[in-house]
Chains A and B, each alone.
Chain A
């Protein structure tokens, strides 16, 4: 294999790799703005200049192919001088308005200015002013002053989103970004440009000014918007989700996520209609009761029916753990009719990320339900209509919203028990409602359409949890806040993960299902479902693991 020497380190590389890539793999970060591993090389920012022996001039490492025997210096006096000069040049017209810029705290320009520039400006003339607060698209605002013309956003729109909506206009120091006449920067992936913009020129309308990034905690999670299961990071402040950003996973979503997933999969967590506490229908009204009473009423009412009159409906929105415990409780009660609803939107799919299946865990629910041989969902629906199924347990799915017939069917039941995160048509008809933890409040696993099992972790604390004791990620506010600080009084919902509710219900019914942690449920899944054999949470880790299921290999 050919080798290259970077800062005295001998590194092997593959023919065709650029110097910046080889350096990155060896743990040497060469400063860069315009270079992005998933975009074409533009080479316009010049910050990645390095000294290469035997070359007459400094070379930009993003566009220089590594050659056998090359000797590269990324921190020599000559390189540093050039880097400082480039930084000074880029900063000439930059407004330096970090105090009002959302990027501050995670800004490449800010970091490099601190690490690599001369520290003082020699520019005494009046800075160039450009347009500010330009609504580039429905979800993105653009600040012309801050833009350093790296063209990442343009290349993203051309090469990844394939929408060709952005371009440079004007020349020299007047250059700026705009959409083509009559176009708006509106495509399903547009907001990824906010993440890759190395400065704060592109801002997320939804998150704009909501919080400084250093005030938040960040937790690795999975998007629940569709069966892709994009890897995400949940940004939380004061126990409220403020932002989702994609997390790199080359097997699933690379660096990206879609705008719908980014904006519409977290707001329900802190929404007004969140179910907070347990409810039992008394005199026609759902009334708040304590957990023991609700569990007692649920157990007592379930006992009044024969197992043939009861059906259980799981959910592709719930984790494998939730569905597994549901199937187990069904077995304890001898209930054969166990299934879950599919939520596919035909045609709403592309070859980038978005999938027709709008749930995160259809594959997982299928895997843990395989052994049942009672009625499927259609059958359950028919049995309800025929009056044969009188009792339904619905976990985390809004069957009442599938269509009017389902809503009617639910109305015909004698007893409807649900676990749900938010109020919906199904909870409105229910006799007993248990508040379910959302995906951002529990541990668990989802299996995406490729058959990849991935973990979710709690980012928002429930009433029964404690950030410190439960090992959740904490911001500085979380660490030092007391109950007297208004910035530490974010509401904690009185909810539990569905698997826990089911396990407690089981013991009220005289069963032996008992788990303390989601991890224990998963251990049992790993023991009893072939596809999960030998896995545990540590093994799945941050990036998930491909299950050995033959028919799913699609990427």
Chain B
């Protein structure tokens, strides 16, 4: 059997281990006395910054309608094919609206491409990271779950206006 080669031979002090043990204990002691940063989730929740990419949501105007015009660009750009949009005609000036808008949260990879491509600022990444479902069917979010009032999305929209060209 070949003799094991060390990258570096230990010095005498290192071979004694004692100084290393003292160093370790000192670190432990320091951590014990410094303030704790662990969050007691779910009692305490993390409030992400505006740049955070949580689940994509649809912007709901103050009058209750969706901002989306069902152009299908988000659906086309989505690398994971998570989005299905079915357009229909509306009397509103925008002419078309999404009769059906579904995002499959099992497919979504939170890349934010949908938000980036949307010509209407109608789909944005929210701060919501709590996604729980028990089967495939309930992972498909329809308009009921996707629509979020525009006021609640102010942070993200301001962020986009500042940084998105």
Contacts and interface: CB of A to CB of B under 8 A. Distances in A.
Contacts of B154: none
Contacts of B136: 484
A215 B72 contact: yes
A208 B120 contact: no
Contact of B89 (A132, A208, A480): A208
Contacts of B94: 100
Contacts of B75: 215
Interface residues of B, number: 21
Interface residues of A, number: 20
A480 B69 contact: no
B24 interface: no
A334 to B, nearest CB: 55
B69 A100 contact: yes
Contact of B76 (A100, A214, A486): A214
Contact of A209 (B84, B89, B120): B89
A481 B81 CA distance: 8
A146 to B, nearest CB: 12
A487 interface: yes
B94 to A, nearest CB: 7
Nearest to B72: A212
Interface string B59-87: 00000000001111101100001001001
Interface in A63-102: 98-100
B95 A212 contact: no
A351 B19 CA distance: 104
A491 interface: no
22 contacts: A99-B71, A99-B73, A99-B120, A100-B69, A100-B70, A100-B94, A133-B95, A208-B89, A209-B70, A209-B87, A212-B72, A212-B76, A215-B72, A215-B75, A215-B76, A477-B81, A481-B81, A485-B81, A485-B84, A486-B84, A486-B140, A487-B84
Interface of B: 69-73, 75-76, 81, 84, 87-89, 94-96, 102, 104, 119-120, 136, 140
Interface in A454-490: 476-477, 480-481, 484-487
Q: Which 3 residue pairs spanning A and B have beta carbons closest together?
A: A99-B71, A209-B87, A212-B72
A205 to B, nearest CB: 10
Contacts of B96: 100, 209
A100 B102 CA distance: 19
Interface string A92-126: 00000011100010000000000000000000000
A489 to B, nearest CB: 11
Interface string A396-415: 00000000000000000000
A150 B124 CA distance: 39
B96 to A, nearest CB: 5
Contacts of A212: 71-72, 76
Given A100-B96, A208-B89, A209-B70, A485 B76 contact: no
Nearest to B85: A212
Contacts of B88: 209
Contacts of B76: 212, 214-215
Contacts of B104: 485
From B72, B102, B136, residue with most partner A Cβ within 10 Å: B72
B82 to A, nearest CB: 9
Nearest to B118: A99
Given A100-B69, A209-B89, 5 more contacts: A99-B119, A100-B95, A209-B88, A212-B72, A476-B81
